[in-house]
Amino acid sequence: MAKKLKVPKKLMGFKLSKGTRKDLKKLLKMVTEPDTRTIAVSAAGALAAFLAERFAEYELDKRGKDGKQAKAQLAH
């Protein structure tokens, strides 16, 4: 019997909407080969890390108009 597939509500601190979780679940169900699923999950993890880094850079730019001020806030 196959395990039930569960997509977490939060991924790297960001909440995923119900629709996004359903779409991810459908996508993972379509990928049946274990090797292919491993590659797909690794790619999704890399994409999530990339987007989190870009979001963090955007937030730093938005909060501090001066680059030095934003870096000083990050150090504390």
pLDDT by residue (tens digit) across 33-56?
888 888 887 887 788 788 888 888
Kindly report the number of other CB atoms within 10 A of residue 39's CB atom.
12
48: left (phi over 0), alpha (psi -120 to 50) or beta: alpha
Alpha-carbon distance 46 to 24, whole Å? 15
Residue 17 has pLDDT above 80, yes or no: yes
Residue 65 has pLDDT above 70, yes or no: no
Q: Which residue has the tokens 């991810």?
A: 24
**73 pLDDT tier (thresholds 50, 70, 90):** low
**Contacts for 71 with CB less than 8 Å, ≥ 6 apart:** 60
